[in-house]
Structure 1
Amino acid sequence: MKIVKVLNNNVVMTKNKSDQEMVVVGKGLAFQKKVGDMIDTTNIEKTFVLESSNVALKLAELMKDTPGKFLDLSYKILELAKSRLTYKLDDYLYVALTDHLSFAITRHNNGINLKNPLLWEIRRYYKQEFQIALEALDIVERETGVRLTEDEAASIALHLVNSQLSGENMMAAVKVTEMVNNILNIVKYYFKIELDEESINYERFLTHLRFFTIRFIRNEKSGNMYDNFLYEQVKQKYTDAFQCTERIANYIAQDYNWEISNDEKVYLTLHIHRITSRLSLNTDFSNY
């Protein structure tokens, strides 16, 4: 196993037998070493494979000025997240989270603690990611002695959410959160009710909205899979929920210039009916 790139004294890039780029971590692993030298495998503490060469280059650039302890923190946090989350985490998280932790801890040590304006929404809409992020704060405190605030936990949770968007654009995760929040507010104001956030129907609706907004971010506009019969049936049977859906469609069209399909209107109407009515649907959409 040869050194492909030295990131710092404790972190190097190499390749495995399948010619995949790997980052390996170990105390003094690259001390007085250069590209092409063999790695002492007995000193390797952690290894992880990077699927994207672009991510490897960005990580290499970051590690020029970032202590290896922050990459180690990211590794431990992401291992925790991988054990809990059902979706795949993007490799770019190693870069984004390492950079974020380095900046956050430096700011904290300088007496600067920033507020996250989306803390309330993130805690509410991304409960699993936020819980993982709170445990990440415990990892940071245990390893560094620094206790970061819940605002930082919200930022870590957003990085995890953003991983579903497959990339490094943190603003995408912010946009998803804002759109979901605005749609929920439209429903609440239209029906003049507070939604039961502990109900299974609310969780289903929330999951649908997340994937709906992610499709928008990815520009994955769906066509109409169903004929007009189902659309007209839902429109007539669930009038109030459909009118609320129309308001949501107008909001999305005006603010995001995105025309949602009739299929999407059907799904939104059914979800809205579920969370605003005690009556159960005769049609079986329970597995959606």
Structure 2
Amino acid sequence: MKIIKVFNNNVALTKDSNQTEMVVMGKGLAFQKKIGDQIDTEKIEKNFIAPSEGFAAKLSELLDEIPYEVMVLSKDIIDMATKELQTELSESLYLSLSDHIHFALIRLEDGLPIKNALLWEVKKFYKQEYQAATKALQMIEARTGIQLPEDEVASIALHFLNARQDSSGMEETLKMTQIFGDVTNIVKYHYGINFDEDSMNYSRFITHVRYFAYRMLRGELSDDQHGTLYEQVKQQYPESYACTKKVQAYLKPTYQMQMTKDELAYFMIHIHRVSYREKNI
């Protein structure tokens, strides 16, 4: 394994026999090393494939500011989250998570904790990511002795969401999360109910809202092909229709998106299911 770039005494960019570029980490691993030298593989504590050409430059810049211990901690958290979520996470998460954890520790030390406005939504709609992020905070406290606030659980969970291989970016993730929360609140306050979040109907409802928000933000809403279904459901579930119109009234000015009759019909069906069960328990 040959060195192609030395970041600092503990981190280097290498190339293996298959010409694969890999970031390797370990105490003193690159001390007094230069380009072309071989790495002592016994000193490698962590390693991962460099995802892009620009990754090395960004990592080099980050290492000027962030302690080695935080970088190692971030890699351990990513390894934990990969197992917990049973999915591959983008290697770019290493940069964003290291930077976030380092900044969060500094902010807390300076008495400047930041509130996460999406704490409730993340906790309710992304339970797996939230649980993994909770473990991440426990790992941070165990390594640093610093207990970060619960708001940071939501922030780290959002980083996990954004790093999923099928993710479409943090901005879209944040918008989708906001939509989940707002639509759920509209239904909750319209009917004056609290949801049983363990119920199958609630799970179906959230899945529909998530899929709808994803397609809406990508401009992939279905065409009106079931106008008859819309009229039928509208007549059969008038209360759900009234609630769905509130959802439509929220989405149109907020996201400049008009729901089709198909979407209105499916929303009415799911809203009826989730509200009927809660009102009749």
Q: TM-score range by the shorter chain?
A: 0.7 to 0.9
Match of 1:238 in 2: 237
Which residue in the other structure is 2:257 paired with?
258
Q: Residue 76 of structure 1: SS of its match in structure 2? A: helix
CA contact (8 A) 1:118 1:154 kept: yes
Residue correspondence of structure 1 range 48-197 to structure 2 within 5 A: 48-164=48-164, 166=167, 169=170, 171-197=171-197
1:4 is aligned to 4
In structure 2, distance between residues paired with 1:253 and 1:91: 36
| Structure 1 alignment gaps of length 5 or more | 280-288
Task: Give the TM-score of the pair, scaled to structure 1.
Answer: 0.84
Q: What are the superposed Cα offsets for residues 38-90 of structure 1, whole Å, 9 maximum, x if unpaired? A: 22212111211243434444333322322222221111111111112144422
| Map 1:204-215 → 2, pairs under 5 A | 204-215=204-215
| Residue 16 of structure 1, CA deviation | 4.1
Distance change >3 Å, CA 166–CA 121, structure 1 → 2 = closer
Identity across matched positions, percent:
45
Q: CA deviation at 1:147?
A: 1.7
What CA RMSD, in Å, does the superposition of the two structures yield over aligned residues? Answer: 2.6
Matched with 1:282 is none
Unaligned 5+ segments in structure 2 are none
Q: List structure 1 runs of 4+ shifted beyond 6 angstroms.
A: none
2:201 equivalent in structure 1: 201
The CA distance in 2 between the partners of 1:249 and 1:54, in whole Å, is: 42
**CA 216–228 in structure 1, closer or farther in 2 if over 3 Å, else same:** closer
3-state SS in 1 of match to 2:13: strand
| Aligned partner letter, 2:190 | Y
- Range 79-88 or range 52-61, more displaced: 52-61
Once the 2 structures are TM-superposed, how far is the Cα of residue 140 of structure 1 from its aligned partner? 0.8
Aligned equivalents of 2:84, 2:274: Cα separation in 1 = 27
Report the residue type matching 1:66 in the other structure.
I
Q: Cα gap change, 1:45/1:119 in structure 2, threshold over 3 Å: closer, same or farther?
A: same
Moved more, 122-131 or 55-64: 55-64
**How far is the alpha carbon of 1:155 from its aligned partner?**
1.3
- 1:3 to 1:268, Cα distance in 2 relative to 1, 3 A: farther
